[in-house]
């Protein structure tokens, strides 16, 4: 995972501010804005893990779900040529386009 941290299923972005000589980031995939920072990579990782633990504690206290909710629907933009090829594959396989795309995404993220 390039320039990302992972802890307890949470992902943290990683950035560097050369003016302040500090690494910083935020927890991704949540409704809240939770940031963390450190002067070294080790400090950044420790700060990220502490931020995740603190966030989970807050979620438990407030009885809220820690991750964003997803409804399983999103829009994508692709080239007309790719759209045509997916449509052809859909006809050949006898599957809806959505199912073809779902299978491709499952392969990409390692869910197959």
Asked if 35 and 25 touch (Cβ cutoff 8 Å), the reply is yes
pLDDT, average across residues 43-67: 96
Tell me the CB-side half-sphere exposure of residue 82, using CA atoms within 13 A.
Answer: 6
- Beta strand segments in 59-102, E: none
pLDDT at 112: 67
Q: For residue range 64-88, list pLDDT tens digits in order.
A: 999 988 888 889 999 999 999 999 9
Q: Is the pTM of this model over 0.85?
A: no
Q: Residues with Cβ < 8 Å from 34, sequence gap 6 or more?
A: 26, 27, 51, 54, 55
User: Would the pLDDT of 1 be above 60?
Assistant: no
- Reported as a pLDDT band with limits 50, 70 and 90, residue 13 is very high
pLDDT at 71: 86
**Given pLDDT bands bounded at 50, 70 and 90, which one contains residue 2?**
low
Distance in angstroms (rounded) separating the CA atoms of residues 86 and 54: 45
- What span, in angstroms and rounded, lies between the C-alpha atoms of 65 and 42? 29
């Amino acid at each position: 995972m390039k320039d990302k941290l992972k802890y307890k299923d949470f992902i943290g972005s990683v950035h560097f501010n050369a003016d302040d000589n500090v690494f910083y980031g935020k927890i991704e995939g949540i409704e809240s804005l939770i940031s963390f920072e450190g002067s070294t990579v080790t400090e950044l990782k420790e700060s990220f893990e502490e931020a995740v633990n603190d966030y989970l504690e807050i979620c438990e206290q407030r009885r809220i779900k820690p991750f964003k909710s997803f409804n399983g629907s999103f829009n994508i933009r692709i080239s007309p040529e790719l759209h045509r090829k997916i449509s052809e594959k859909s006809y050949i396989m006898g599957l809806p386009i959505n199912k073809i795309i779902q299978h491709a995404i499952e392969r990409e993220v390692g869910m197959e």
